Amino acid sequence: MKIPLKFFKRPSFIQNFQDYECFKGKHIGLTGHRGILGSILYSKLKEYGIKVTPYPNDINNHHDLIEWFSQYQFTHFLHFAAIVAIDKVEKDIFKTYETNVIGTYNICKQIVKTQSNCWFFFSSTSHIYQPTSIKNIKNLSIDSPKALNSIYGETKLASEKLIKLIFRNYSTDACIGRIFSFTSPTQKEPFLVPTIMRRVEEITNNAKLEVNNGDSIRDFMSAEVVIDCILHLASKRFCGTLNIGSGEGKNVFKIAQEIVKLSNKNIKIDVCNSNTPNAYIADVKELKKFLLS
């Protein structure tokens, strides 16, 4: 069972990116090309004949990074590599910090030292924010209160601070995109949509499906749309920090309902809120302003 892309409707203000000609003659560097977002971007650039070179090794290997960067001159560099999944983050906090923060620092250092006029994109996350209550939902803006209890969010926020400090002092163009929830047919567990899909596939007809934190609300887009946003930002070398999301929330219970409908099974959904339900919805005023200008 695959979830249709129309399930997460493309926001009207995010147009399909088509101006690949603007990247002709450019050289794009990339980390995280085996992840969901990085792999989509890598495939699109290759499909349109754009010169793109993915970093093939562990970003924690400083020696390999130095040697690799010394071989190339990039016009654009996009950094997606990170430890993201909660189970992996919690399993090894030290590895998470080393990868997400120190690895990012080492990449920024090489860009400043070896690259000339290279635009840099950092893949940040909505997890840097404190979510809002579902009883008082507010779209999260750039200045909204930051996370105090998310290890992953804290590492991304620490990386953002490093990027701003380093690139401000070296006058390098940098964009920080705080990406909200996304999904893709190739996304795997423990992420929300593939987890629910697997459970629905395994459950018998007329059974009950218990959905944890089903009252929580998330701002979902397809991974393809997220990449369209990033390509628009790269094509015009946007500088600054903004949210990448739809600006609309989708109830986790309703997501489960839609997946159950696809299965053609008679399944009752029970909601179990092990944590206080919350909402992550992007304030996308800055993104709209940029994309519609």
Q: CATH number of the domain that 51 lies in? A: 3.40.50.720
Q: Answer whether residue 112 is part of any domain.
A: yes
DSSP string, 68-131: HHTT---SEEEE------HHHHHH-HHHHHIIIIIHHHHHHHHHHHH-SS-EEEEEEEGGGBPP
The answer as to whether 267 is a domain residue is: no
Q: How far apart are CA 288 and CA 293, in angstroms?
A: 8
Burial level of 2, CB count in 10 A (0-12/13-18/19+)? Answer: exposed
Phi, psi torsion values for 67, nearest 5 degrees: -65, -40
Answer yes or no: is 83 within a domain.
yes
Residue 129 counted as domain residue: yes
The pLDDT value given to residue 169: 87
Q: How far apart are CA 90 and CA 68, in angstroms?
A: 30
Please give the full DSSP string across 281-293, using - where no structure is assigned.
-B--HHHHHHHT-
- Spans in the chain with pLDDT lower than 50: none
Model pLDDT for residues 144-161, shown as the tens digit of each residue: 999 878 999 999 999 999
Structure tokens at 4: 């249709």
Domain membership of residue 200 (yes or no) is no
State pLDDT tens for residues 35-93.
999 999 999 999 999 999 999 999 999 999 999 999 999 999 999 999 998 889 999 99
List Cβ neighbours of 128 (8 Å cut-off, separation of 6 or more).
146, 147, 150, 153, 154, 156, 157, 160, 178
> What's phi and psi for 189, nearest 5 deg?
-60, 150
Peptide bond before 190: cis, by omega within 30 degrees of 0?
yes
Q: Is 199 part of any domain?
A: no
Q: Which domain holds residue 41?
A: 9-182+221-247+281-291
In this structure, is residue 190 part of a structural domain? no
Whole-angstrom distance, CA of residue 260 vs CA of residue 270: 12
**What is the per-residue DSSP string for 232-253?**
HHHHTT--EEEEES-S--EEHH
What total number of domains does the chain contain? 1
Residue 216 located in a structural domain: no
Give me the pLDDT at residue 164, please: 95
Q: What phi and psi, each to the nearest 5 degrees, are found at residue 19?
A: -85, 60
Rounded to an integer, what distance in angstroms lies between the CA atom of residue 214 and that of residue 198? 16
**What residues contact 241, with CB distance under 8 A and at least 6 apart?**
124, 142, 160, 175, 176, 177, 178
The reported pLDDT for the residue numbered 26 is 98
Tokens of 130: 């404190």
> Nearest-CA neighbor of 32 among 112, 116, 124, 97?
124
